[in-house]
Amino acid sequence: MSGIQPLLAVTPGEPAGIGPEILVRFHAEHPHFRIVAVADPVLLEQTAHTLGVETKIQDWRPGAQTRANELPCLPVDLAAPAQPGKLDPANAAYVLETLRTAAGLVRDGHADALVTGPVHKGVINDSGFAFSGHTEFLAGLAGVPQVVMMLAAPGLRVTLVTTHLPLRRVADAVTEEKLEAVIRITERALRCQFGIPKPRLQILGLNPHAGEGGHLGREEQEVITPVMRRLRNEGFLLDGPVPADTAFNPPRIAECDAVVAMYHDQGLPVLKHMGFGRAVNITLGLPFIRTSVDHGTALDIAGTGKADTGSLHEALAVAANMARHRQDDNGQG
């Protein structure tokens, strides 16, 4: 792909949220990015008109050429007209169809990566669809049993062993099988999608002071260390288990390519503090590249032009960089 800009399929997400407006504004401000919107073209045209953004929407089909200063759009029709800030369950099926269509584009090689805008889980579930989030939905579409959530900001990448669980359930969910899968998927993605030949991972402990020799919990001794020992014997470069309260010191972060955290609020508060407005959500383990903005639908400011395009910019830039670096690993790209 050297010398050719990757083509990124973008879903704006909830049509009543800020997704459509940050997409049309971003395209007008950064026309050099090769993107194709998977959305209702009328929605994008109306959004551009309302905001006074000079962006012409170009009807696009797989294989068609893109033209400068026009936003290519693979049409998916809304069920009902969208109004900024006003959720309509009738459009939940539209949101899911944009995801199916865009994922199909990338899976079939018509685009190089998928970048998703913010969705509203509540209105999708209220409409009768069981939807726990982009990550699970895309894993189901791809038919993969295990995916890993990575959040990335300048200078720091964090992957999670457990994601959205109550704290009282976390310890039981950190199993040897789960931890090993997360480490393997993280290490492989860093090699094959980030261009890091020999990734070094920092593995956090679960308990304060990484268990303090078993006095503050035995998960480090009974689960985490045995997994790390096995993988080190295969050549993995792993540091830890590291106490979470010292793991994010600048010298430690500088010496690793990613931090593997045991639970959501162990790793993400630090990352979001470091990269506020520039964080990117990445799903590892899919057969295609997927990144996302790290913010919600912001219904309260939808249609006002106040939404910041910074996270979308980062999500697109990371996706393009991953697409450039992507390589096969034993025939599994």
What pLDDT is stored for residue 332 in this prediction? 40
What pLDDT is stored for residue 294 in this prediction? 87
Share of the chain above pLDDT 90, in %: 82
Q: Do domains 1-144+286-333 and 148-277 have the same CATH topology?
A: yes
Among 195, 180, 19, which residue's Cα sits nearest to residue 94?
19
What pLDDT is stored for residue 330 in this prediction? 42
Find the mean pLDDT for residues 248-268.
95
Q: How far is CA 74 from CA 13, 59, 79, 81, 120, in A?
A: 14, 6, 16, 18, 22
DSSP run (H or E) holding 189: helix 176-192
Q: Is 90's pLDDT higher than 70?
A: yes
Find the mean pLDDT for residues 76-84.
96
pTM here is 0.90
Domain boundaries, the chain: 1-144+286-333, 148-277
What pLDDT is stored for residue 65 in this prediction? 81
Q: Is 14's pLDDT higher than 80?
A: yes
Distance (Å, rounded) from C-alpha 195 to C-alpha 323?
10
Q: What is the dihedral angle through the alpha carbons of 107, 109, 111, 115, rounded to the nearest 10 degrees?
A: 20
How does 113-130 read in b/e, with b if 16+ C-beta sit within 10 Å?
Answer: bbbbbbbbeebbeebeee
Number of helical (H) and strand (E) elements in the chain, helices listed first:
13, 12
Identify residue 290 by its one-letter amino acid code. Answer: R
Say which CATH superfamily domain 1-144+286-333 falls into. Answer: Isopropylmalate Dehydrogenase (3.40.718.10)
CATH of domain 148-277: 3.40.718.10
Q: Is 309's pLDDT higher than 60?
A: yes
Side by side, the strands of the sheet bearing 56-59 are 56-59, 70-75, 35-39, 8-11, 113-116, 290-293, 280-284, 148-153, 156-160, 258-261, 200-204, 237-242
Query: CA gyration radius for the chain?
Result: 21
